[in-house]
Structure 1
Amino acid sequence: MAKMVLLAEYVAINGTDLSDYAKKAELTTKVEEKDVTTYGSEGWKELLGGLKSGELALDFLQDFAASALDSIMWPLLGTVVTFEVRPDNAAVGTSNPSYTGSILINGWNPVSGSVGDEATVGVSYPTSGAVARATA
């Protein structure tokens, strides 16, 4: 079994590579559980998969400079945009799959933290539509 340490994860939102700002990127996907248990199930619960959903959670180091993170993300508030994440910034392949889709930018926390903290932004965006996995 191959082991991996994330050293150069690739994160893009709305076609812009934000990897230089990202400290964490976590894409989660799930499927609703639909209970289809009947008396014929003989006391065992039976489940089917329902609607799929996902979420992209990101931790960024904030940057307020012109053309930097805050100026890229602020105009996206309230819009649905594309995303792409990969375990590594190298080319997409069987050992470096690309996950793509769309997310709703439903919030932005430009300023947060305490005295002495690094300026960070933690966000979590719901996916909108399908999430695809590609290896080529």
Structure 2
Amino acid sequence: MPKMVLLAEYVAINGNDLSTYAKKAELAVKVEEKETTTYGSLGWKESLGGLKSGDLGLEFLQDVAAAALDSIMWPLLGTVVSFEVRASNAPVGTSNPKYTGSVLISGWNPIQGSVGDEASVGISYPTSGAVTRATA
């Protein structure tokens, strides 16, 4: 069974490669469960898939220098922008698919942490529209 260790994830928001700031990226997609159980189901629950949705969870090391992370993300607040994530920054292929779509930049935490902590930003964005998987 193949195994993988994440060493160089690729994370881009609005066309900006933010991989050098990223410590963690999680893309979760799901489908609403719509119960369709009837008396004809003979006591077994039946379900159909409804609307699809997703969340892009990110953790960054903060950088407030000019042209760095904070100055890239701050102007995006409240907008819907593109994203791309891959398990590796290697070229896209059958063993390194890319996941793309759009997210609503629904928040930003420019200052987060306690005394002695690294300056980091943990945030999650809802997807907007379809999330696609491609190998080319």
- Give the secondary-structure state (helix, strand or coil) at the position aligned to 1:83: strand
Q: RMSD in angstroms over aligned alpha carbons?
A: 0.3
- Give the secondary-structure state (helix, strand or coil) at the position aligned to 2:74: helix
Alpha-carbon distance between aligned partners in 1 of 2:65 and 2:114, rounded to the nearest angstrom: 21
- Give the secondary-structure state (helix, strand or coil) at the position aligned to 2:130: coil
Q: When the two structures are superposed, what TM-score results if normalisation uses the length of structure 1?
A: 0.99
CA drift at 1:79:
0.1
- Give the secondary-structure state (helix, strand or coil) at the position aligned to 2:31: strand
Mapping for residues 92-103 of structure 1, pairs under 5 Å: 92-103=92-103
Mapping for residues 82-101 of structure 1, pairs under 5 Å: 82-101=82-101
Alpha-carbon distance between aligned partners in 1 of 2:48 and 2:133, rounded to the nearest angstrom: 23
5+ long unaligned stretches in structure 2: none
CA drift at 1:91:
0.3
Alpha-carbon distance between aligned partners in 2 of 1:104 and 1:122, rounded to the nearest angstrom: 15
Alpha-carbon distance between aligned partners in 1 of 2:132 and 2:41, rounded to the nearest angstrom: 34
- For residues 87-116 of structure 1, what are the alpha-carbon distances to aligned partners after superposition, in whole Å with 9 as ceiling and x for unaligned? 000100011000000000000000011000
CA drift at 1:12:
0.1
Off by >3 Å, runs of 4+ in structure 1:
none
Matched, 1:12 2:24: no
Alpha-carbon distance between aligned partners in 2 of 1:85 and 1:120, rounded to the nearest angstrom: 19
User: 2:108 maps to which residue?
Assistant: 108
- Give the secondary-structure state (helix, strand or coil) at the position aligned to 1:93: coil
User: 2:74 maps to which residue?
Assistant: 74
Alpha-carbon distance between aligned partners in 1 of 2:129 and 2:117, rounded to the nearest angstrom: 36
Q: When the two structures are superposed, what TM-score results if normalisation uses the length of structure 2?
A: 0.99
- For residues 23-76 of structure 1, what are the alpha-carbon distances to aligned partners after superposition, in whole Å with 9 as ceiling and x for unaligned? 000000000000000000000000000000000000000000000000000000
CA drift at 1:80:
0.1
5+ long unaligned stretches in structure 1: none
Alpha-carbon distance between aligned partners in 1 of 2:112 and 2:58, rounded to the nearest angstrom: 15
Alpha-carbon distance between aligned partners in 2 of 1:42 and 1:112, rounded to the nearest angstrom: 53
Mapping for residues 1-136 of structure 1, pairs under 5 Å: 1-136=1-136
Number of positions where the alignment pairs a residue of Structure 1 with one of Structure 2: 136
Alpha-carbon distance between aligned partners in 2 of 1:89 and 1:109, rounded to the nearest angstrom: 26
Alpha-carbon distance between aligned partners in 1 of 2:86 and 2:48, rounded to the nearest angstrom: 30
Question: What amino acid sits opposite 2:133 in the alignment?
Answer: R
